[in-house]
Amino acid sequence: MSVAPTEEQVADAYRMADPCRLCPRQCRVSRPAGEQGYCGIGAAPLVSSAGAHFGEEPPLVGRGGSGTIFLAGCNLLCVFCQNYQISHGAAGRPASPGHVADLMLGLQSRGCENINLVTPTHVAPWLMDAVRRARLRDLRLPIVYNCGGYEGLDMLKLLDGTVDIYMPDAKFWRADSAERYLHAPDYPERMRAALREMHRQVGELRIENGIARRGLLVRHLVMPGAVEQSKSILRFLAEEISPRTHVNVMQQYRPIYEARSCPEIDRPITLHEYGEARAFAQELGLALV
């Protein structure tokens, strides 16, 4: 299990937010002063909801559910976001690190299997602070960093020792797709670098008695007409991360929010597209979740 970050580590993380360099957007606004960058969040995290979630990957759910804390805002703001009310709409209430620590301990008392921080990248320093406070108050659960994969390496390195399970998305392989749907043409290279660093920190996913305890678990959402990109991502995982990487090849894409403005993704994926991507992952020997 991870340990409480030190006061010095938390202070270093807060310095990354003023001017803000927490993610590759490099907005360089003063977050502690309340200034907002691309993510739309200022001096405090906004918590949308917190509770036991039973719809996550089985190794995270167990019997007690995954203790999810949904953070509002996002540093990606995908045009097809499935949770756009929370990410684009920043639907949530301000929460101090002390309050977030209280939420973590409350989820532990309810019997949750882990603390699952959903969309944490843009508020990472505040969450580090909350984890420190909660660990000092006997939080014993693994910390799950459930992110979009668009991460800054400097901030990731500060998280070393704080996070037990990294669960990033690996969305797109090609820069033109990342530009069109995420407004982030550098997403593919940033994602690849982030996954390498995450794996360096926590290694392959370790599951004990059906419950994930530590390691890397990658999510990949199959997109319409993009099976070749899916294959490139899966090949990268097998060849450059680990052939035993745990991956969830997901089929739940739906054309919602602003996706209808992009005709090529204005449809659900087909069973054939999903089956082809999943079969390729199996051929590579990846551990499907």
**Segment 71-121, tens digit of pLDDT:** 999 999 999 998 899 999 888 999 999 999 999 999 999 999 999 999 999
Q: What percent of the chain has pLDDT over 90?
A: 97
Separation between Cα atoms, residue 25 and residue 168, nearest integer Å: 17
Amino acid at 54: F
Q: Please report the pLDDT score of residue 136 as a whole number.
A: 97
Q: Please report the pLDDT score of residue 3 as a whole number.
A: 81
pLDDT at 220 over 90: yes
Q: Please report the pLDDT score of residue 51 as a whole number.
A: 97
Mean pLDDT of 242-258: 96
Separation between Cα atoms, residue 219 and residue 23, nearest integer Å: 19
pLDDT at 33 over 80: yes
Q: Please report the pLDDT score of residue 90 as a whole number.
A: 86
Separation between Cα atoms, residue 249 and residue 254, nearest integer Å: 15
Q: Please report the pLDDT score of residue 236 as a whole number.
A: 98
Q: Please report the pLDDT score of residue 91 as a whole number.
A: 87
pLDDT at 247 over 90: yes
Contact between residue 28 and residue 15 where contact means Cβ atoms under 8 Å apart: no
Q: Please report the pLDDT score of residue 1 as a whole number.
A: 75
CA dist list (Å): 249 to 165, 184, 198, 216? 18, 22, 19, 14
Mean pLDDT of 228-255: 97
Q: How confident is the model at residue 261 (pLDDT cuts 50, 70, 90)?
A: very high
Q: Please report the pLDDT score of residue 37 as a whole number.
A: 95
pLDDT at 31 over 90: yes
Separation between Cα atoms, residue 172 and residue 170, nearest integer Å: 6
Q: What percent of the chain has pLDDT over 70?
A: 100
Q: Please report the pLDDT score of residue 272 as a whole number.
A: 98
Q: Please report the pLDDT score of residue 159 as a whole number.
A: 98
Going by their DSSP bridges, the two strands 211-221 and 206-208 should be labelled as antiparallel
Peptide bond into 24 cis (omega under 30): no
Mean pLDDT score across all residues of the chain: 97
- Copy the structure tokens of residue 230: 């899916």
The CATH code of domain 7-288 reads: 3.20.20.70
Separation between Cα atoms, residue 172 and residue 236, nearest integer Å: 12
Mean pLDDT of 14-24: 98
Residues 170-180 pLDDT 10s: 999 999 999 99
Separation between Cα atoms, residue 246 and residue 25, nearest integer Å: 28
The span from the first CA to the last CA of the chain, in angstroms, equals 22
**What size, in residues, is the chain?**
289
pTM higher than 0.85 for the full model? yes
Instruction: Say what the alpha-carbon torsion angle 83, 193, 142, 148 is, to the nearest 10 degrees.
Output: 0
Among 269, 21, 260, 2, residue whose Cα is nearest residue 153: 21
Q: Please report the pLDDT score of residue 2 as a whole number.
A: 82
Q: How confident is the model at residue 219 (pLDDT cuts 50, 70, 90)?
A: very high
Mean pLDDT of 130-157: 98
